[in-house]
Amino acid sequence: MWKEFKEFATKGNVIDLAIGVIIGGGFQSIVKSLVNDVIMPVVSIFTGKIDFNDMMITIGGASIKYGSFITNTINFFLMAFCVFLIVRYVNKINKTLEEKSKELNKKLEKEHKFFKKKKQKEELPTPTTKFCPFCLSEIPIKASRCSHCTSVLKEPHEEIVGEQLEIKE
């Protein structure tokens, strides 16, 4: 069981999630400070210098701190908006990378097809004639005697095929 837990805990997704939670906690403190120290004082200017954190209703012996709720709600929406902007930016980057990848793949596919066609065009057909080593006349490739000089082609290991000398072993 311990081995399974170690395997689970060291998987990439779990570690990524842990890092995300840690960074999210740090990010939360930044957003909280932004709301409490910057936004809420500006809002209090328009609301008559009211501190939302001190707003509450006391019913019986219980205090309902709706001002703190308003502050936390603003914190949440700012945090959600920041996460939205980050995800939007990352998606935009991913989309751009996907488009560039598709373009590159299309370009590579076209080049591959071009070189494949070019290679097919460059393939030479199997020769059907050869040259007599004695008179250099062109004769059928299967001939064992030259039709021009009547020489017997006894040495099949040396034949002049096309314009190249091939050594057959």
> Tens digits of per-residue pLDDT, 57-108?
888 888 898 888 887 888 788 878 877 888 899 899 989 999 998 898 888 8
Name the segment(s) of the chain with CATH classification 1.10.1200.120: 2-91
Listed in sequence order, the residues at least 6 apart from 143 whose beta carbon sits closer than 8 Å to its beta carbon are 130, 153
Q: Is the pTM of this model over 0.95?
A: no
**pLDDT tens-digit map of 114-166:** 777 666 666 667 778 888 887 888 888 888 888 888 888 865 544 455 445 55
**pLDDT tens-digit map of 3-42:** 887 777 777 677 778 888 888 888 888 887 887 788 777 8
Question: Is 2-91 CATH 1.10.1200.120?
Answer: yes
The pLDDT value recorded for residue 96 is 92
The pLDDT value recorded for residue 44 is 75
End-to-end CA distance of the chain: 67
With 60 as the cut, is the pLDDT of residue 167 above it? no
Compare 44 and 94 and report the one with higher pLDDT.
94
C-beta separation of 105 from 112 below 8 A = no
Distance (Å, whole) CA 108 – CA 104:
6
> What dihedral angle (degrees, nearest 10) is formed by the CA atoms of 15, 17, 23, 27?
180
